[in-house]
Amino acid sequence: MILSDLHVHTSRDHGHNSAAEMAAQAARQGLQTLGLVGHATTDFPCHYAMTPENEAAFLSETAALRQQYAGRLDLYRGIELDYYSAPTDAPYDYRIGSVHYVKYDGRVISVDSDPKELVAAAQHLFGGDWTALCRLYYTNVADLGRKFAPQIIGHFDLITKFNEADCLFSTDERRYRHAALEAVDALMAGEPLFEINTGAISRGCRVTPYPAPFILRHIRQRGGRILLSSDAHSTAHLLYGFDGAAQLARSCGFDSVWTLTAEGFRETGL
């Protein structure tokens, strides 16, 4: 398997290390492909999105690093577009489509920032109906293809970040599963890559990657494609949990993952 990590953040958004530090660590770990990613702005204030100044610096820094590591490390730059971001024509190599928020009754609800805020939203805005909140989330996920045609779908079931062991809601519930799998089906027309994302494990929120096995099995049954991503925010978390992620992929029927090359996305064996 090619050592590749295409979802890695830097200090130009909410990462802890600079692009140069991330690239140096990737080279030390023997990565063949590194994708440095920045969060796009949203249509409401978002503390971790790149400012225009940081985006310009990110593009400049990654262009220089690409030259510096030529022949040693294939370095690409991506933009992570939230559902409420605007499309961009900046020179990124790929787009990650993600949902971090839903809007309801004039309010913006973050699904991954604070568990207490998420629980309060479910109780006060949805009358405790978690499935209704999740269905709204997956409606946004399903629409990512239409909005952005992303090459990668990020952390598909991020709504479960604080739901370890189904402590908030049941992911076995029929309506929940229907909403999730319906979103997969809606996205398949664009042939995106679905990432197996280990970021919540490295940050101590989960013990398994996104997405859940039932979702991965459905992606496989539909002929979908996957890649492994750490969603690293520090040098310590590059390739984090990839052995377990690869094992999960195999258990769900996959025998290959995809990575980015100079010729485009390429399949490689697990």
Residue spans of the domains in the chain: they are 4-99+129-269
The Cα–Cα gap between 248 and 196 comes to: 9
**Cβ contact 249:196 at 8 Å:** yes
Architecture of the CATH domain 4-99+129-269: Alpha-Beta Barrel (3.20)
Percent of the chain with pLDDT over 70: 100
What tokens were used for 155?
């952390």
Q: Which residues pair with 103 in a beta bridge?
A: 108
AA identity, residue 181:
L
- What pLDDT tens digit does each residue of the chain (270 aa) get? 889 999 999 999 999 999 999 999 999 999 999 999 999 999 999 999 999 999 999 999 999 999 999 999 999 999 999 999 999 999 999 999 999 999 999 999 999 999 999 999 999 999 999 999 999 999 999 999 999 999 999 999 999 999 999 999 999 999 999 999 999 999 999 999 999 999 999 999 999 999 999 999 999 999 999 999 999 999 999 999 999 999 999 999 999 999 999 999 999 999
pLDDT in tens, 27-55: 999 999 999 999 999 999 999 999 999 99
